[in-house]
Amino acid sequence: IWWLDPELTYGNAKPFVFTQGHSVCNRSFFPCFDTPAVKCTYSATVKAPAGIQVLMSATQSTYLEEEGVYQFYMEYPVPAYLVALVAGDLIHADIGPRSRVWAEPCLLPTAISKLSGMVERWLSAAESLYGPYIWGRYDIVFLPPSFPIVAMENPCLTFIISSILESDEFLIIDVIHEVAHSWFGNAVTNATWEEMWLSEGLATYAQRRITTETYGAAFTCLETAFRLDALHRQMKLLGEDNPVSKLQVKLEPGVNPSNLMNLFTYEKGYCFVYYLSQLCGDPRHFDSFLRAYIEKYKFTSVVAQDLLDSFLNFFPELKEQCVESKAGLEFERWLNATGPPLAEPDLSQGSSLTTPVENLFKLWTTEPLDSAAAASSADLTKWRTFQTVLFLDRLLDGSPLPHAVIKKLSECYSSQLDSMNAEIRIRWLQIVVRNDYYPDLYKVRRFLENQMSRMYTIPLYEDLCTGTLKSFALEIFYQTQNQLHPNLRKTIQQILSQGLNPLPAIDTTAVTTDTPAMVLEDKVSEATNGAISLRDVNVSA
């Protein structure tokens, strides 16, 4: 349960509270069987002060104004982690026949402009693929930047971090992914957290079927290429033998399932589902199977064998061919082998969008550098967001770059990127940090001074503290920590403490932009307690 003072909201007017149940956090909200294997209906009565709007993930709600009491009822069985509550200075607007958006008053116009008419389009596309939307309403509430993840698929009421509003393509993908969860995850749920891919892999597959229907195959392939790049980046960091890269992860006693949330859950799970769809020959045949799967198992929880048995029974010709035992692509190997996906999708339909990215990256990383050719070969202002972030991610992977290259990159793109969304800007700033490019460091400071969300602060602080710029990071942190949620503040302190003793409490009113960085570092060195590893921090609770 996250309690926010008014200063941690956009409006700075009223306190705010929200819950985040995934994976096993709702046991601190109400007594429950906190496992996805158990589903039930629920009702709730919530009393709130006047002027505070309360919402829950429920199909029915009433408000008794004289008593200040809200009553909620979820008529369909859901697992405990999908019970959610939010309360604060929230107002709404209808954006479709069965959808409305809730946000703080200062954010509502932006939310309306981004989503009006769009959600119904996505819901209709999903229904054409996977059958009726069973939850009645599909509303969205935008939460303050303290929300610890990007989005959460609470039934009837998707939670989304407000920070994503400025990044249109990421907003589209994130909402469509949560729409897909209405079928995969919410209606049919993984019975154990060891098989989280049954929700996330299927939802990612469904999300991409929906985007293909609404935005075309090229856009879907571009977004998939971006995510698979990220998967392989995570693979390099973890190693191919890491057990968390299995689809069926062994959950050891005492391990929080949230710690198992990674790109393998999503993208390796997606690749397996995509492989199953290819076995059918036509994705529309696989859509028919998924409709039957949802109809058979809705409002229940399943294990992987339920999905795979249903698949083989639905396609008896594939069962006769023993596709589950095909050498090198055995279903059991998909589930239990470590490492990358056994097969990846053909993304050639996205070449019109991905080839310019690959060509530009080659121009900037081929020696000797022809900066004139590289600078004139592409206009990033005309690219899609996913093209630009794919390009910047590949530059990040190649960092540190030669000084002449980073200098020319800055001359060509830095001012252009300043006016782009935060998903693009943070990647350029990570490149700046990883290359110790001091002329653009002031932009890192400016970015962190204006960001309060985990997704746009943690990556930069981690990069700053990995290199030679820890004192610079300390300086920014002491100037901005009061605008951060205590949980995020603690996480950043632990990043800053890596290799040092823990940070002491410092009177931030005494720290100005003129405070020498070395003075701050001296204060750190005076602390005496042992440092806590960042891995010990549960970022979801």
List the catalytic residues: 178, 266
177 assigned ligand-binding residue: yes
Whose structure tokens read 């954010």? 107
**Contact of 336 with 246, CB cutoff 8 Å:** yes
Sheet holding 139-143, edge to edge: 91-96, 99-103, 139-143, 157-161, 151-152
**Contact of 392 with 422, CB cutoff 8 Å:** no
Tell me the C-alpha distance between 435 and 396, whole Å.
Answer: 9
- Smallest CA-to-CA distance from 434 within 462, 404, 457 is with 462
Tell me the C-alpha distance between 180 and 126, whole Å.
Answer: 7
Tell me the C-alpha distance between 472 and 345, whole Å.
Answer: 43
Tell me the C-alpha distance between 411 and 480, whole Å.
Answer: 29
285 assigned ligand-binding residue: no
Token pair in block for residue 57: 């993930």
What's the residue count for the chain? Answer: 541
Q: Residue 135 is inside which H or E element, if any?
A: none
Q: Is the previous residue joined to 23 through a cis bond, with omega within 30 degrees of 0? A: yes
- Smallest CA-to-CA distance from 443 within 430, 455, 452 is with 430
Q: Residue 101 is inside which H or E element, if any?
A: strand 99-103
- Smallest CA-to-CA distance from 171 within 124, 118, 123 is with 118
Neighbours of 252 (CB within 10 A): 7
Tell me the C-alpha distance between 350 and 404, whole Å.
Answer: 32
**Residues 6 or more apart from 149 whose CB is under 8 A from it?**
20, 161, 540
Neighbours of 50 (CB within 10 A): 6
Token pair in block for residue 138: 């599909």
- CA dist list (Å): 448 to 217, 400, 416: 36, 22, 19
Phi-psi region of 15 (alpha: psi -120 to 50; beta: other; left: phi over 0): beta
**Residue 530: CA atoms inside 13 Å, Cβ hemisphere, count?**
2
Phi-psi region of 494 (alpha: psi -120 to 50; beta: other; left: phi over 0): alpha
Query: Would you give the end-to-end CA distance of the chain in angstroms?
Result: 8
Whose structure tokens read 């629920």? 42
In the annotated binding site for Zn(2+), the residues are 177, 181, 200
In the annotated binding site, the residues are 177, 181, 200
